[in-house]
């Protein structure tokens, strides 16, 4: 993934003959096919730099050496990722492994081609997962493709006994096993007293946990997903003062947390949120189109992106649109194909949208608010 600051740093770089290469990867460690694809792209770029841009052999070799070094490094190809982008700009070379890449693209211009990354910026969101069990809590930070135990977990009370007191815990065990004064005590819901006692223990424990969670995640900005056996979620939800708890828990026994399962569930939640946001903005597009706060006209959308007006941008990038934006006349010139004098207008508009604080969704034709168009926008004013 890439965050907004990284994206904007790349977008701000301008120099002659910046090179961008996007490659789909097989997603396995056997990468001969992937390496051949990169080698073919290097050959194509070499030809373009020579024939179209008239660079000397020495200049071309200097620009392509980092790509060749990457190709020759076997350690770079041991990855389970499904996409890769490589950039060469000025004296810099960088690469990013991607969760996906649908096709191979190469781009040479005075700037980098960032359109496929624009779709990832808004995906670079995270949520916290709090796993609850009889004796332990764990706190994780999760994104679309990564999960890690949060360092904040060290500040949480992770042992119920430490919170409710060892003596209380021992008496509770005696009560449940019939060793205390109340000989008929039972544990699993067959006596009202035992259920009440167990619930009281969890409430006391979870109040302490919740207080720390509110201290550690201030202003309730982060979504908090609760994971645990089904009877623990309502207990925690009822006592919690945290305002941004996800309404559906991840159900299971997390005495020994399964990070793969938690990552899979986190990804489902994030995809669900993205889908909901996408559908809401498609509906908003329809509502605002008649009052000129939305548009599917290329010239209007490009111009609005330059002004920083776009709140949400939708791009169907099955077909590129080449051309130029003329700031002096606030006009767009569309070209039939790429040449050394024009740019991707979709790339330009996506970069301007993110720079202006908007979000970019790259979707298929069926998910465009106005079908049979390539670019739609919802304006913030």
Tell me, yes or no, whether 280 and 343 share the same domain. Answer: yes
| Distance from C-alpha of 9 to C-alpha of 271, rounded to nearest angstrom | 27
192: in domain: yes
Quote the tokens at residue 104.
Answer: 């191979």
Domain residue limits at 101? 17-109
122: in domain: no
114: in domain: no
Last residue of a domain, one of 272, 295, 310: 272
117: in domain: no
Tell me, yes or no, whether 103 and 48 share the same domain. Answer: yes
Tell me, yes or no, whether 71 and 142 share the same domain. Answer: no
Tell me, yes or no, whether 281 and 257 share the same domain. Answer: no
3: in domain: no
Last residue of a domain, one of 237, 272, 307: 272
Tell me, yes or no, whether 143 and 257 share the same domain. Answer: yes
Tell me, yes or no, whether 134 and 268 share the same domain. Answer: yes
Tell me, yes or no, whether 38 and 95 share the same domain. Answer: yes
Tell me, yes or no, whether 83 and 172 share the same domain. Answer: no
3-state secondary structure the chain: CCCHHHHHHHHCCCCCCEEEEEEECCCCCCCHHHHHHHHHHHHHHHHHHHHCCCCCHHHHHHHHHHHHHHHHCHHHHCCCCCEEEEEEECCEEEEEEECCCCCCEEEEECCCCCHHHHHHHCCCCCEEEEEECCCCEEEEEECCCCEEECHHHHHCCCCHHHHHCHHHHHHHHHHHHCCCCCCCCCCCCCCHHHHHHHHHHHHHHHHHHHHHHHHHCHHHCCCEEEEECCCHHHHHHHHCCCCCECCCCEECCCCCCCHHHHHHHHHHHHHHHHHHHHHHHHHHHHHHHCCCCEECCHHHHHHHHHHCCEEEEEECCCCCCEEEEECCCCEEEEECCCCCCCEEHHHHHHHHHHHCCCEEEECCHHHCCCCCCCEEEEECC
- Full pLDDT tens readout for the chain, 381 residues: 789 999 999 999 999 999 999 999 987 665 688 999 999 999 999 999 999 999 999 999 999 999 999 999 988 887 778 899 999 999 999 999 988 777 899 999 999 999 999 989 988 888 999 999 877 889 999 998 889 999 988 888 876 766 676 444 444 444 444 444 433 333 344 434 467 888 888 899 999 999 999 999 977 778 999 999 999 999 999 999 999 999 999 999 988 878 999 999 999 999 999 999 999 999 999 999 999 999 999 999 999 999 999 999 999 988 899 999 999 999 999 999 999 999 999 999 999 999 999 999 999 999 999 988 999 999 999
Tell me, yes or no, whether 158 and 266 share the same domain. Answer: yes
118: in domain: no
Tell me, yes or no, whether 249 and 284 share the same domain. Answer: no
CATH number at residue 251: 3.30.420
12: in domain: no
CATH number at residue 369: 3.30.1330.30
Q: How many domains does one find in the chain?
A: 3
195: in domain: yes
Quote the tokens at residue 87.
Answer: 């950039």
Tell me, yes or no, whether 138 and 266 share the same domain. Answer: yes
Last residue of a domain, one of 249, 272, 295: 272
**Bridge partners (DSSP) listed for residue 147:** 142
| Distance from C-alpha of 239 to C-alpha of 145, rounded to nearest angstrom | 31
Tell me, yes or no, whether 268 and 132 share the same domain. Answer: yes
């Amino acid at each position: 993934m890439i965050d907004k600051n990284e994206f904007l740093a790349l977008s701000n770089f301008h120099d002659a003959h910046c090179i961008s290469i996007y490659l789909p990867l097989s997603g396995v460690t056997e990468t001969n096919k992937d390496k051949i694809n990169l080698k073919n792209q290097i050959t194509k770029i070499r030809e373009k730099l020579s024939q179209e841009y008239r660079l000397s052999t020495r200049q071309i070799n200097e620009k392509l050496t980092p790509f060749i070094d990457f190709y020759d490094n076997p350690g770079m190809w041991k990855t389970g990722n499904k996409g890769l982008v490589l950039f060469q700009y000025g004296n810099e070379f960088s690469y990013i492994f991607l969760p996906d890449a649908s096709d191979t693209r190469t781009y040479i211009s005075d700037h980098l081609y960032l359109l496929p990354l624009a779709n990832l910026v808004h995906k670079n969101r995270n949520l916290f997962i709090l796993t609850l069990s009889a004796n332990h809590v764990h706190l994780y930070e999760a994104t679309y493709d990564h999960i890690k135990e949060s360092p904040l977990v060290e500040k949480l009370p992770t042992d119920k006994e430490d919170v409710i007191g060892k003596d209380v815990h021992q008496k509770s065990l005696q009560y449940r096993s019939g060793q205390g004064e109340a000989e008929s005590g039972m544990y699993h819901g067959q006596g009202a007293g035992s259920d009440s006692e167990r619930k009281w223990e969890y409430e006391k424990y979870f109040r302490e946990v919740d207080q720390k969670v509110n201290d550690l995640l201030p202003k309730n900005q982060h979504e908090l997903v609760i994971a645990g056996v089904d009877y623990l979620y309502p207990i925690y939800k009822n006592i919690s003062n945290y305002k941004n708890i996800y309404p559906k828990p991840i159900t299971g026994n997390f005495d020994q947390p399964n990070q793969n399962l938690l990552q899979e569930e986190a990804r489902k939640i994030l995809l669900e949120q993205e889908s909901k946001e996408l559908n809401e903005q498609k509906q908003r597009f329809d509502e605002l189109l008649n009052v000129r706060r939305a548009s599917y006209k290329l010239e209007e959308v490009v111009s609005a992106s330059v002004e920083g007006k776009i709140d949400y941008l939708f791009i169907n990038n099955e077909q590129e649109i080449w051309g130029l934006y003329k700031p002096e006349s606030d006009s767009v010139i569309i070209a039939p194909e790429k040449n050394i004098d024009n740019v991707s207008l979709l790339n330009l508009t996506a970069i301007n949208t993110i720079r202006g604080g908007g979000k970019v969704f790259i979707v298929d034709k069926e998910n465009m608010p106005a079908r049979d168009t390539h670019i739609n926008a919802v304006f913030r004013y």
